[in-house]
Structure 1
Amino acid sequence: MIRSWVRPLLGVVVAVAVVGAAASLIGRSARPAPSTTIGGSFVAPVAPTVPAVAATTQEPRPAATVAGATRPGTRPPVVDHGPRTGNRVALTFDADMTDGMLGNLRAGRVRSYANLRILDVLEREQVAATFFLTGKWVQRYPEITRRIAGNPRFELANHTYGHLAYTGDCYDLPRLPARGMTDDAAKTFEVIAPYGGRQTRYFRFPGLCHDAAALEALAPLGVTVVDGDVVSGDPFATAWEPLVRAVLDNVRPGSVVIMHVTEANARMTDEALPYILAGLRERGLVPAPLSEVLAGA
């Protein structure tokens, strides 16, 4: 079951899928000043002069190894974080996509559920990250998926096909029938696989909602379920400062940070990201691929 301490923070996250994503808010706030103080600690954003890393347009080669794979037929392990040693942390970005969100795109109510500014920052600063992709998001944004897969610092993971709940009590999300759970997750791996890059067998449930039946449904797929121990609370945020505080006040060695790359309903994430990166540096913490952070967990 979902952990009690993370449920309040995730309520706003899963509201994204429940409402099918609200229309994009108009008028972005001005970029923050070159330096600021968060939680009483001075934080300077990442310098904008780091050479950019050009996004590849070539089809990446499939990974030689698949991180997160476990023995098929056994209940998958569930991890919140890696070992509390060293200085590595994992920045993870969920790419939700529901039928309601697709409807918003088609109707023109929303411009985009793909925040390219996040990719720009990560590429410019040469920062490692892991993207939990829904199959429908990949199908809607194939070129952006190709861009993610083409970056050797990025890993690709599974966030279900259409962001349906795998349990009966998950923030009022529509529930996926039990008989369809295995195929839903398997289909998403099939959708992601042709893009190559750093493929993984990591899986994240919508809302982090899972029970014994949901885990049993994933047993044939040989996956590792990844929750997370630091929730940014970025969906529908109207200011960047609370996101920075939510991350930097809770991050520790081995942490798995949950953020979103869905621009229209997480529009402040790219505003907060440079400050989060600066705060991690101040604490001596280094973003690394999820597979490296979880090694030995």
Structure 2
Amino acid sequence: MLPIVVQHGPRAAKRVALTFDADMTDAMAARLRRGEVASYANLRLLNILEKRRIPATFFVTGQWAEQYPKVTRRIAGNPLFEIANHSYEHAAFTGDCYHLPRVAPAAMTEGVAKTFRSLEPFGGRQTRYFRFPGLCHDAAALRALAPLGVTVIDGDVISGDPFAKGPSPVVNAVLTQVEPGSIVILHVTEANAQYTDDALPAILAGLRRRNLEPVSLSELLS
């Protein structure tokens, strides 16, 4: 049986899930090594979530967890946060997916399984949720993940934060799309999504005005 693909939660309750992708590709790791970027871990964003006690779900790549084990332990140690799988090296599972390098079909299953093994020692609220890099998937990719017992999470609110030139477009993208049951896609990869932390307070304020409560993905889908 193919994995279930989830776009959003129930529309009846006034709850939304804030999800944060932690991407790490080979090219990103190389830029870090060369000193071309300072960090792909947005600690200010974590500070805001922690200070305001906002539940969140983090879709973590295996390479990101290995690059930032201290930050991953910090996420795992917060009972309001939960951890999900975002592949090992953020390579594409289909062709023509945002110019990402492609995973060989024979390597798809093991790459995702390897990520679960990489994340498990961090503990915390581990899930069997999986998000495809770029949200790119087809029937072959879903078949490859069928043995792993995952639930595939897409999302219905794409913030566009990796491409934003300031916080306002991120805030506007979220608040113009969000509705009860929404799954919001944001990023915790600072150098690739540098305005997410600036946008987050205004997003939270906008959700409050609409009486939309942020909850973990597990709570939204329960």
Alignment TM-score, normalising by the size of structure 1: 0.74
Q: How far is the alpha carbon of 1:227 from its aligned partner?
A: 0.1
- Asked whether 1:128 is paired with 2:128, we answer no
Amino acid at match of 1:202: Y
- Asked whether 1:90 is paired with 2:17, we answer yes
Query: Residues of 1 paired with 2:117 and 2:209: CA distance?
Result: 40
- Asked whether 1:162 is paired with 2:122, we answer no
Query: Residues of 1 paired with 2:202 and 2:122: CA distance?
Result: 31
Query: Residues of 1 paired with 2:99 and 2:191: CA distance?
Result: 21
Query: Residues of 1 paired with 2:166 and 2:95: CA distance?
Result: 33
Aligned-residue sequence identity (percent) comes to 67
- Asked whether 1:189 is paired with 2:121, we answer no
- Asked whether 1:293 is paired with 2:215, we answer no
Question: Counterpart in 2 of 1:206?
Answer: 133
Answer whether contact 1:114 1:263 (CA < 8 A) is retained.
yes
Runs of 4+ aligned residues of structure 1 deviating over 6 Å after TM superposition are none
Amino acid at match of 1:124: K
Structure 1 SS opposite 2:162: coil
32, 36, 41: which one aligns with 1:114: 41
Answer whether contact 1:244 1:275 (CA < 8 A) is retained.
yes
Unmatched 5+ stretches in structure 1: 1-73
Q: How far is the alpha carbon of 1:172 from its aligned partner?
A: 2.4
Q: How far is the alpha carbon of 1:265 from its aligned partner?
A: 1.2
Q: Which one has a larger percent helix, Structure 1 or Structure 2?
A: 2
Query: Residues of 1 paired with 2:2 and 2:146: CA distance?
Result: 5
- Asked whether 1:238 is paired with 2:165, we answer yes
Amino acid at match of 1:134: T
Q: How far is the alpha carbon of 1:236 from its aligned partner?
A: 3.4
Question: Counterpart in 2 of 1:218?
Answer: 145
Residue-by-residue CA offset, 1:152-176 (whole Å, 9 max, x unaligned): 0001000000001111231222111
Amino acid at match of 1:293: L
Answer whether contact 1:158 1:201 (CA < 8 A) is retained.
yes
Answer whether contact 1:236 1:267 (CA < 8 A) is retained.
no
164, 176, 179: which one aligns with 2:103: 176
Residue-by-residue CA offset, 1:234-265 (whole Å, 9 max, x unaligned): 01322111111100111011100000000011
Query: Residues of 2 paired with 1:247 and 1:198: CA distance?
Result: 26
Question: Counterpart in 2 of 1:3?
Answer: none
Alignment TM-score, normalising by the size of structure 2: 0.99
- Asked whether 1:278 is paired with 2:193, we answer no
Query: Residues of 2 paired with 1:142 and 1:157: CA distance?
Result: 15
Amino acid at match of 2:49: L
Counterparts of residues 2-151 of structure 1 (less than 5 Å): 74-151=1-78
Amino acid at match of 2:108: M
